[in-house]
Amino acid sequence: MANTQSSRAVGFGRALIAVYAVLALAATARSFVQIVGKFDVAPVAYILSGVAGVVYILATVALLKKGDTWYRIAWITIIFELVGVLTVGTLSLVDPVLFPSDTVWSVYGRGYLFIPTVLPILGMLWLYRRRPSAPPAGVRS
């Protein structure tokens, strides 16, 4: 088991973080353009795209940072992301009227090659494999 004091931005982790950073930029830019240019068309969809952007930014930072606190923040953020993409993805299929314009998470991230659905699963698997090891008995951390 790896110690969270070492960088998680190596190997597969580096690629994972890079994809999170690209999605952070894409989702944030998309929502900014939508909110500034045509907010009245689909406010819920555009706000959800903004939320997705913030989630991707926070996940990127949490995955880059060292320490147990950032490890927990990464888990919370990625779980929130998965719940968001599954909820919005399902709602956008069941009742498309709710989202007159696509969000990053609409139809499970179809507009982003379904990466928003696969990414949190890969992120959770990777975080699990990089979980902090428990200190030996009697040792304070």
Q: What is the pLDDT of residues 61-97, one digit of tens each?
A: 999 999 999 999 999 999 999 999 999 999 999 999 9
* pTM for the full predicted model: 0.84
Question: Is the CB of residue 50 less than 8 Å from the CB of residue 26?
Answer: no
Amino acid at 54: V
Confidence of residue 118 (pLDDT cuts 50, 70, 90): very high
User: Under 8 Å CB-to-CB from 139, ≥6 apart: which residues?
Assistant: none
Q: What is the pLDDT of residues 32-68, one digit of tens each?
A: 999 999 999 999 999 999 999 999 999 999 999 999 9
How many CA atoms lie within 13 Å of 115's alpha carbon, on the beta-carbon side? 16
Mean pLDDT calculated for residue range 15-22: 96
DSSP, collapsed to helix, strand or coil, labels residue 2 as: coil
Tokens, residue 4:
């969270």
List the chain domain ranges: 12-129
- The residue whose two tokens read 């353009």 is 33
